[in-house]
Homo-oligomer: A and B are copies of this chain.
Amino acid sequence: MKKLSFLLLACSFFTLSAQQIQSPSKEIQVEFSLSPEGEPIYQVNYKGKEVIKASKLGVSLKEDTSLTNGFSLVNKEETSVDETWDPVLGEQSTIRNRYNQVSFHLLQKEINRKLDIVFKVYDEGVAFRYEFPKEEAVRYFIVSDENTEFNLTGDHKTFWIPGDYDSQEYVYSETKLSEIDNSKLDSNNGIALKSIESNYRVQSPLMMKSADGLYINIFEAAVVNYPVMHLNVNIENFQLSSHLVPNAIGDKAYLRTPSVTPWRTIMVSDDARDIVSSKMILNLNEPNKIDDTSWIKPMKYIGIWWEMHVGKSTWDFAGSQNAQNAASKDLIPSGKHGATTENTKSYIDFAAKHGFDGVLVEGWNVGWEDWFGNWKEDVFDFTTPYPDFDIKEISEYAKSKGVKMIMHHETSGSVANYERHLDRAFDLMKKYDYPAVKSGYVGKIIPRGEYHDGQTMVNHFNFVAERAADYKIMVNSHESVRPTGYSRTYPNYIAAEAARGNEFNAWSSGNDPKHETILPFTRLLGGAMDYTPGIFEIKMDIYDPSKTEQVHTTLAKQLALYVTMYSPLQMAADLPENYERYLDAFQFIKDVPADWQESIYLEAEPGDYLTIARKDKNSESWFLGAITDENSRKTEIKLDFLSPGKKYKAIIYQDGKDADWKANPKSYSIKEQTVTSKSKLKISLAAGGGTAISIVPFN
């Protein structure tokens, strides 16, 4: 590690001329200045081109003078950092953290109020945040608004989802900035709870491409004790500005000195691969706070889950007609319950046979007869199994088979209720040796009036991760705040959903073929996603001839997703009996790891295609995934990342010649060939298709 620090002390206050900060590569320049009114202003250039025009910075306070103007610069501190750290789980075994930092110490002289604005400039982008320094006494304050501007230079192509306080489970619209308008979205999209307050507000990460070929991404990192930032869009002049998700009474954040906001990030490059491969968001988070991480392990798992989505079984034991029977003993079984002891054992058998680490079981606990949509507080207790789910017997059976059980905690948004039961829920997990929990937050939040993405919920999700760490439990949250790199700090927070997952393909208009080519440029920048790939039976009419829903990919692309959608927790989401019919293709899912030594982004264009090669954390094997959008694609991949002189067996899982995501999605072929670092592979992707390749060295 190399650190250099400078402190410029000023005898009197600066008359501030623009202050420069450069990336280590010197390709990115940030200028920071104060307006004549003492407003903080910044501007970003990349390779001499303007990326962010002069934009104001500031924070409005509810009960105090706002931190928006009247500032003088007291002094500044400069630091350069170049260090590495090893994530517990990740896309690569070592991450480099290299940036130039300048902290501007500002003062509102008249009221003697301090504010620091700190910039970190990386080779792939700029990060800055507000810091509220320690003062003589603790100062409490309420943020009523954050006034961060991102003034763009043109009408960029943009991949956006609406600024919804409660959901990110949208497909991405790909339009010009000027065409953003939430009122034009199709509301029949399978999302039950929507809280969109403005037609001209979107979520971040916001991926854009300028007319002159710059890829620009606006996001945030280390969202801790602060609400999620959405972006107001001025569709006429392309100015974006921060909008924080409010709480029940309209406040944004409750803070006290000393404290900091999340980092606001602007990534920019003329090569899309620099964005999609960036570890800047992780780097901007605090280092790991868990001493012993030996229990944090990647997991591939199957689960009693997709069968409920396709209507084969139910989460509930007794059907909603029994909703008024409070106690499980009064329930009349419907006969369709999925989470039975017998069914669970058969999943355990399948997991053991095929080498999966875990089995998730949803619908194991009482409450599902009346769980959704009514803002009900006391839905689940997280400790009482249905009468046909023998948790002790299942736990022992799983242990005898070398399989771990994955717990499921659906809160239905009743967070108050979940927090009340959390210790007991985790106690039960430890008693029965469940190393991981999948949590769910479907529905309106309780405490009532709170939103999924407000400060209260940010704190909740982070609290659960911390509390779970006490129990050595890994967490995979669904319908949660989207991650912003906090898995660096709490690496047991191994995955989240927090975007539109594969499940939407089962019962809604689904995810269009380009969806998985955008997520790595947006949602995945903050952390792993439990996307639940691996659906082989693409069309739902197999379950019911009247169904028209389908997965919007080919079967081969489902395989490729295990590489392109990074997660240390990877589900094989389809039914065991479906896998039994395609065991040759299933072999890739069995072989592909979930933790990596190295990842190489070979080709990337948001909304179009993505090709990634990754090296297994624990071997010399490589795995390659290539996906495309609705357009078929031919490309040639150089395998020069392989060790020179070494021979490998490549097994190529590819779309059949006649494959097409809609017309013929299950057409695939598998071929083997010997490859070296000098090999080039021509691959051909069907419309909505993909290729998955395992590259294993000959011993």
Segment from A134-142, A570-578, A625-633 that makes contact with B = A134-142
Which of A143-151, A307-315, A447-455 forms contacts with chain B? A447-455
Verify A247–B377 contact, CB threshold 8 A: no
Confirm or deny: A419 has a beta carbon within 8 angstroms of a beta carbon on chain B: yes
Whether A254 is near chain B, meaning CB under 8 Å from some CB there, is: yes
Contact of A353 with B by CB under 8 A: no
A420: B residues at CB distance < 8 A: 419-420, 422, 463, 467
Q: Are B138 and A324 in contact (CB under 8 A)?
A: yes
Indicate if A323 sits at the interface (CB-CB under 8 A): yes
Task: Report Cα–Cα, A604/B463, bound state, in Å.
Answer: 54
- Tell me if A376 is interfacial: C-beta within 8 Å of chain B: yes
Bitwise, A428-464 to B at CB < 8 A (1) or not (0) is 0000000000000000000111100000100100010
Cβ-based interface call for A416 (8 A): yes
A-B complex: 7 closest residue pairs judged by Cβ atoms = A447-B447, A248-B248, A249-B449, A423-B423, A140-B374, A248-B449, A419-B420
A447-B377 in contact given A138-B324, A138-B370, A248-B249 (Cβ < 8 Å): no
Counted per complex, copies of this chain come to: 2
Tell me if A251 is interfacial: C-beta within 8 Å of chain B.
yes
Contact of A376 among B134, B140, B251 (CB under 8 A): B140
Are A376's CB and B248's CB within 8 A?
no
Within 8 Å by CB of A138, from B323, B447, B456, lies B323
Asked if A256 is at the interface (CB within 8 A of a chain B CB), the reply is yes
Q: How far is the CA of A676 from the CA of B321 in the complex (A)?
A: 68
Given contacts A138-B324, A374-B140, A376-B256, contact A251 B448 (CB under 8 A): yes
CB A320 to nearest CB in B, in angstroms, measures 8
Distance in angstroms from A360 CB to nearest chain B CB is: 26
Q: List 5 A-B contacts (CB under 8 A).
A: A137-B323, A138-B323, A416-B419, A420-B467, A447-B450
Interface residues of A in 392-436 (CB under 8 A from B): 416, 419-420, 422-424
Q: How far is the CA of A423 from the CA of B421 in the complex (A)?
A: 9
Give the CA-CA distance A247 to B423 in the complex, in Å: 27
Q: Which residues of B contact A375 (CB under 8 A)?
A: 140, 254
Q: Mark A356-381, 1 if CB is under 8 A from B, else 0.
A: 00000000000000100011110000
Across the interface, do B248 and A448 meet the contact criterion of CB distance under 8 Å? Answer: yes
A685 to chain B, nearest CB (A): 49
Bound Cα distance from A542 to B375, whole angstroms: 56
Known contacts A254-B448, A447-B456; can you find 11 more A-B pairs with CB under 8 A?
A247-B449, A248-B248, A248-B249, A249-B449, A256-B376, A416-B456, A420-B420, A420-B422, A423-B424, A448-B456, A449-B449
Residues of B within 8 A of A376 (CB): 140, 256
State whether A374 touches B256 (Cβ < 8 A).
yes
Question: Cβ of A324 and Cβ of B449 under 8 Å apart?
Answer: no
CB distance from A665 to the nearest CB of B (A): 40
> For A247, A323, A324, which residue has the most chain B Cβ atoms within 10 angstroms?
A324
In the complex, A324→B370 CA distance in Å? 46
- Chain B residues closer than 8 Å to A138, beta-carbon distance: 323-324, 370, 374
Which residues from B are CB-within-8-Å of A423?
423-424
> A688 to nearest B CB, angstroms?
41
Closest-by-CB residue of B relative to A415 is B416
Which chain B residue has the least Cβ–Cβ distance from A470? B424
Which residues on the B side are within 8 Å of A463 (C-beta)? Answer: 420
Give residues 548-601 of A contacting B (CB, 8 Å): none
CA–CA, A284 to B685, complex, Å? 73
**A459 to B376 alpha-carbon distance, docked (Å):** 13
Knowing A254-B375, A374-B256, A375-B254 are in contact, say whether A248-B447 is a contact too (CB < 8 A). Answer: yes
Do B416 and A249 have beta carbons less than 8 Å apart?
A: no
Q: How far is B602's CA from A187's CA once the two chains are assembled, in angstroms?
A: 71
A62 to chain B, nearest CB (A): 11
What is the bound-complex CA distance between A208 and B381, given in angstroms?
45
Residues of chain B within 8 A (CB-CB) of A324 are 134, 137-138, 258
Q: Considering the complex, give the chain B residue whose CB is closest to the CB of A424.
A: B423
Q: List A225-252 residues whose CB lies under 8 Å from chain B.
A: 247-249, 251
**For the complex, what is the distance from the CA of A457 to the CA of B247, rounded to whole Å?**
18
Measured CA separation A248–B377 after assembly (Å) = 15
Asked if B249 and A448 sit within 8 Å, CB to CB, the answer is yes
Contacts of A134 in B (CB 8 A): 324
A314-329 contact mask (Cβ, 8 Å, vs B): 1 or 0? 0000001101100000
Q: How long is the Cα–Cα vector from A601 to B521 in the complex, in angstroms?
A: 77
Please, which residues of chain B bring their CB within 8 A of the CB of A249? Answer: 248-249, 448-449
- Chain B nearest CB from A414 CB (Å) reads 11
Query: In the complex, which residues of chain B have a beta carbon less than 8 angstroms from the beta carbon of A321?
Result: 137
A447 in contact with B256 (CB, 8 Å) = no
Closest residue of B by beta carbon distance from A421:
B423
Assembly CA distance A450 to B448 (angstroms): 10
Interface membership of chain A positions 238-274, coded 1 if the CB is closer than 8 angstroms to chain B and 0 otherwise: 0000000001110100101010000000000000000
Q: Which listed residue, B137, B254, B370, touches A377 by the CB 8 Å rule?
A: B254
Instruction: Give bound CA distance, A424 to B449, whole Å.
Output: 28
Residues of chain B within 8 A (CB-CB) of A424 are 423
Chain B nearest CB: distance from A571 CB in Å? 30
Chain B residues, CB < 8 A from A247: 448-449
Closest residue of chain B to A456, judged by CB? B447
Closest Cβ of chain B to A252, distance in Å, is: 12
* Cα A374 to Cα B447 with chains together (Å): 20
Q: Give, as a whole number of angstroms, the nearest-CB distance from A82 to chain B.
A: 31
- A142 to B, closest residue via Cβ: B375
A534→B540 CA distance, assembly (Å)? 76
Q: Please, how many angstroms separate the alpha-carbon atoms of A256 and B248 in the complex?
A: 22
A447 to B254, CA, bound (A): 12
Q: Which residues of chain B have C-beta atoms less than 8 A from A140's C-beta?
A: 374-376
A177 to B134, CA, bound (A): 53
Find chain B residues with CB under 8 A from A254 CB: 375, 377, 448
Contact A447 B416 (CB under 8 A): yes
Cα distance, A362 to B344, chains bound together (Å): 51
A463 and B420 alpha carbons, distance in the complex (Å): 9
- Contact string, A207-235, partner B, CB cutoff 8 A, digits 1/0? 00000000000000000000000000000
Q: Name the residue among A134, A247, A370, A448 with the largest chain B CB count within 10 angstroms.
A: A448
Residues of B close to A377: CB separation below 8 A = 254, 459
Q: Which B residues are in CB contact (< 8 Å) with A137?
A: 320-321, 323-324
B-contact bits for A277-304, CB 8 A (1 contact / 0 none): 0000000000000000000000000000
Which B residue sits closest to A450, measured CB to CB?
Answer: B447
A450, B416: Cα distance in complex, Å: 13
